[in-house]
Amino acid sequence: MMIFKKAIDRRTFLKGTGATVALPFLDAMVPAMAAAKDGHESVKRFSIIYTPNGVNMSQWTPEATGRNFQLSPSLEPIVKYKDKMHVLTGLDNNEGDALPGEGETAPHERAGGVFLTGVHPLRYGETGISVDQIVAKELGQHTQVASLELGLHSTDVTGHCEKGWSCAFMNTLSWRNPTTPLPIEYRPRAVFERLFGDNNSTDPKVRMERLEKDKSLLDAVTDAASRMMKKVGPQDRVRISEYLEGMRDVERRIQMAEQQSDREIPTVERPSGVPANFADHLKLMFDLQVLAYQTDMTRIITFMMGPEQSNRTYKEIGIPDVHHSLSHHQGSAEKLGKLKKIDSYHVALMGYYLDRLAATPDMDGSLLDNIIVLYGSGISDGNDHLMQNLPLVVIGGGSGQLKGGIHVRYPEKTPVANLYLTLLDKLGVHLDSFGDSTGRLDIETA
């Protein structure tokens, strides 16, 4: 690391005509005094990734506990990150269970409504404030965007869904307060412009006008980037170049998706910038998340791989069956085998995200060193809609606060809200209780 007597401000932007682009972390942002200090505080970040419909638990849960455990078949695709993983078994979301006399209940809506809140959801659309928004109130004070709520599904369906329950529970996991859901954004172009464009309009006409001019956001800041290159050292010049090239690649992929959407299915109205292929869409959204963290535009992102009751099929891995239907396996070995294959596919795609985080430099290491990633589902066994013994993994260094490389099994009836209290502490947010919590967890000891 080069030492600079006068540091570049962490909030420095490249500014051009109609465009403002934040910079990634650079050595030149660390002043000589701060760089010389041991224990300077790294940025804390929190990423939540949700997979719907539960998993094949027999293939998910490792057999042994402690640090000498072997990853389960479903988690094997991310084995290279085992040393940064906490596999957590036995945590419950009991507040998601139906209450006596509640009448017909919708298990998938309840699973989505309780996952990050620890509060029993009510039919008309009320639950508790979600843990990501608790974090956003604190960490969001330091960034332009307090939090991002992202996903891969449209939130056009509103009103009542299954058995008269509010569709809000299907559209999001995030609640600003008990009655205010924060719907996810699934359009890459809208996310990109919210993060990096001066004009944050999501109006398709506005976006298409810019596309028709065939002008990249980065073209507008070329001169500013050239001037910045002269102020920093060789390593920082490489980082700026790689970062801008990465951003240009995201733009190119968004534009390609928009052009292909118009060309391939002209008779169907499709939101612009949404790749037709599931994996392409997911990777593009992961790349946007890395850019958001890299430029410190936000420090908290919630991402849904799909909504509860997802009817997605996975022909690309040889499974034409509907995911939700497979989750109701009724003990069928064939269906359980297909469900395990989907679980492994989701984990492998998350591995792409972990690779990107690990490859992106940050203070004292990489983004993966300075983030807490929570991956899991609000349902364990989809056949019975069980909300006990949830499939959960915590990955990342947590800015030096997480050791990893352990599988911990907790006693029965331990609320997942206890995990949230523990993670909140590590993110610098201290609460006496959260949801139905009964205390804090030791996630480093089996």
pLDDT, the chain, mean = 84
* Stretch 206-231: mean pLDDT: 60
The CB density around residue 411, as the number of other CB atoms within 10 Å, is 6
Read off the pLDDT band of 237 (50, 70, 90): confident
Q: What is the Cα–Cα distance from 68 to 154, expressed in whole angstroms?
A: 42
**What length is written for the chain?**
446
Segments making up each domain of the chain, as ranges? 1-40+187-273, 48-181+278-446
* Stretch 132-149: mean pLDDT: 92
* Helical ranges in 265-332 per DSSP H: 278-294, 323-327
- What confidence score (pLDDT) does residue 161 get? 76
- What confidence score (pLDDT) does residue 33 get? 38
Read off the pLDDT band of 32 (50, 70, 90): very low
Cα separations (Å) of 233 from 186, 190, 240, 241, 367? 38, 34, 11, 12, 21
Tokens 């008990």 -> residue: 178
* Stretch 122-150: mean pLDDT: 93
Read off the pLDDT band of 210 (50, 70, 90): low
Q: What is the Cα–Cα distance from 78 to 85, expressed in whole angstroms?
A: 9
Question: Which of residues 345 and 224 earns the better pLDDT score?
Answer: 345
6-15, 30-39, 228-237, range with the lowest pLDDT:
30-39
Which residues pair with residue 107 across a beta bridge?
A: none
Cα separations (Å) of 142 from 145, 360, 375? 9, 21, 25
- What confidence score (pLDDT) does residue 42 get? 74
How do residues 271-323 score in pLDDT, each as one tens digit? 356 888 999 999 999 999 998 998 888 999 999 999 999 999 999 999 999 99
100-114, 132-146, 358-372, range with the lowest pLDDT:
100-114
- What confidence score (pLDDT) does residue 273 get? 61
Tokens 């002209």 -> residue: 266
Hey, what amino acid is at 207? Answer: R
Q: Phi and psi (nearest 5°) for 179?
A: -120, 10
- What confidence score (pLDDT) does residue 357 get? 97
3-state secondary structure 84-102: HEEEEEEEECHHHCCCCCC
- What confidence score (pLDDT) does residue 102 get? 80
Half-sphere exposure of 133 (CA within 13 A, CB side): 17
What kind of fold does domain 48-181+278-446 have according to CATH?
Alkaline Phosphatase, subunit A (3.40.720)
- What confidence score (pLDDT) does residue 164 get? 80
Cα separations (Å) of 366 from 6, 362, 398? 23, 5, 11
Cα separations (Å) of 132 from 175, 281, 333, 395, 431? 8, 23, 37, 16, 14
User: Is 80 exceeded by the pLDDT of residue 64?
Assistant: yes
- What confidence score (pLDDT) does residue 27 get? 66
How do residues 157-181 score in pLDDT, each as one tens digit? 555 677 788 889 988 999 999 999 9
3-12, 296-305, 308-317, 341-350, range with the lowest pLDDT:
3-12
- What confidence score (pLDDT) does residue 142 get? 86
What are the residues whose beta carbons fall under 8 Å from the beta carbon of 394, sequence distance 6 or more?
A: 85, 86, 88, 372, 373, 374, 375, 402, 419, 423, 443
Read off the pLDDT band of 213 (50, 70, 90): very low
Read off the pLDDT band of 9 (50, 70, 90): low
40-54, 223-237, 300-314, range with the lowest pLDDT:
223-237
- What confidence score (pLDDT) does residue 156 get? 66
User: Is 50 exceeded by the pLDDT of residue 270?
Assistant: no
Using alpha carbons, select from 144, 216, 218, 157 the residue that is nearest to residue 186: 157
111 neighbors 387 (Cβ within 8 angstroms): yes
Six-digit token string for 174:
């995030």
Read off the pLDDT band of 249 (50, 70, 90): low
- What confidence score (pLDDT) does residue 268 get? 32
145-159, 192-206, 243-257, range with the lowest pLDDT:
192-206
User: Is 80 exceeded by the pLDDT of residue 3?
Assistant: no
- What confidence score (pLDDT) does residue 127 get? 96
Six-digit token string for 367:
């983004």
* Stretch 421-430: mean pLDDT: 96
Using alpha carbons, select from 367, 212, 200, 172 the residue that is nearest to residue 287: 367
Question: Which of residues 273 and 417 earns the better pLDDT score?
Answer: 417
* Stretch 376-401: mean pLDDT: 96
User: ∠49-88-341 over CA atoms, to 5°?
Assistant: 60
User: Is 80 exceeded by the pLDDT of residue 245?
Assistant: no
Tokens 């967890």 -> residue: 441
436 neighbors 95 (Cβ within 8 angstroms): yes
221-258 core/surface letters (b: 16 or more CB in 10 A; e: else): beebbeebeeebeeebeebbeebbebbeebbebbbebb
User: Is 90 exceeded by the pLDDT of residue 38?
Assistant: no
- What confidence score (pLDDT) does residue 30 get? 62
3-state secondary structure of 373: strand
Q: What is the Cα–Cα distance from 424 to 99, expressed in whole angstroms?
A: 28
Cα separations (Å) of 358 from 211, 332, 422, 427? 32, 38, 24, 19
- What confidence score (pLDDT) does residue 252 get? 65
